[in-house]
Amino acid sequence: MKYLILLLTILNANADIFDQDDRLQIKDAPLEIQNIGQSVGALIRKSNLTNLPSGDFALQGMPLIEKMNFCPDERFAHESIIANCSGALISENTFLTAAHCIDEDNGASCDQYAISFDYVSNTDQQKNFTSKKENTYFCKKVVKVLADKNYMGRDLIVIELDRNVVNRKPLHVRKEKPEIGEEIFMIGFPLGISQKYTHNGFIEKNDIFRDSFIHHLDTFSVNSGSPIFSTENNDIIGVLVRGTGMNTVKDGECYRWGVDAKSSGYGAGNFLNNFF
């Protein structure tokens, strides 16, 4: 229960599904998106890692159907909650995410986290995951942070990993603000399940007072820190930091993914021009 409370309160970049569910397993995305996804990692608490004799790590978590009483026929209901946040490799040893993901005051300090680039599903019902030792890194220190009080505006952080990342390309960060109407996509770990590609998004408007832009990508808690990309050139143009809406809605005796039927909610990403 402690893990669930942390997931739904501290890592609260809520939103929900707008219009239709545009999330795909990364294996079902175009090849170029799959390649980008190799450099998008999951922040996972060390307590959710178990050392294996091989030196690899078993990733521990409970399926949505058990942990959050998801309906058995709901999408991804049988996948496990393992991640606590999402983020992107932006140099050979630095990782960009949301500042509220690394918050010592809320019990989420740097030294409590591992970053896995192996948290990817082969099926919609995969429960057990292994992170190879060569693809598992640890948060060494905070390099740079830009965060407003209560994370209501700026909410960005870069952490240094314990060693250089091998066999993965750092993703390019575009420092210029995205344009209204620009088409976007996102890669991350909604509600802590395995990596998903979310497409069919666009920039709806800017919120310059909070250094943010508004979009209608399908996002949930633990998508916090997810890199948001321009579909034109695959540059990172923002970081998912918050949203409105409910992660889940009750359907009889079980729960389903939250849906914004009126399209009145939103997700927000931070601009990067004042950070880099």
Distance CA 64, CA 106 (A): 24
Strands (E) located in 75-207: 80-81, 85-89, 94-98, 113-116, 129-131, 136-147, 155-161, 183-188, 196-207
> Quick check: is 240 in a domain?
yes
pLDDT of the residue at 168: 96
pLDDT of the residue at 266: 65
Distance CA 219, CA 86 (A): 12
Q: How many CB atoms lie under 10 A from the CB of residue 244? A: 13
pLDDT of the residue at 209: 84
Our count of domains for the chain comes to 1
Q: What separation in angstroms does the CA of 99 have from each of 152, 198, 206, 214, 241?
A: 11, 22, 20, 18, 8
> Quick check: is 26 in a domain?
yes
pTM, rounded to two decimals: 0.91
Average pLDDT, consecutive stretches of 10 residues, N- to C-terminus, the chain (276 residues) = 33 59 94 98 97 97 95 95 97 97 88 96 85 97 94 95 97 93 96 96 89 90 95 96 87 91 68 87
Containing structural domain, residue 116: 2-270
> Quick check: is 8 in a domain?
yes
pLDDT of the residue at 54: 97
> Quick check: is 34 in a domain?
yes
pLDDT of the residue at 263: 54
> Quick check: is 276 in a domain?
no
The answer to whether the CB of 49 falls within 8 A of the CB of 58 is yes
> Quick check: is 275 in a domain?
no
pLDDT of the residue at 83: 97
Distance CA 272, CA 269 (A): 9
pLDDT of the residue at 5: 30
Distance CA 271, CA 173 (A): 11
Half-sphere exposure of 81 (CA within 13 A, CB side): 23
> Quick check: is 51 in a domain?
yes
Residue 83 is encoded by which pair of tokens? Answer: 């991640």
The CATH number given to whatever domain includes residue 78 is: 2.40.10.120
> Quick check: is 134 in a domain?
yes
Distance CA 219, CA 271 (A): 17
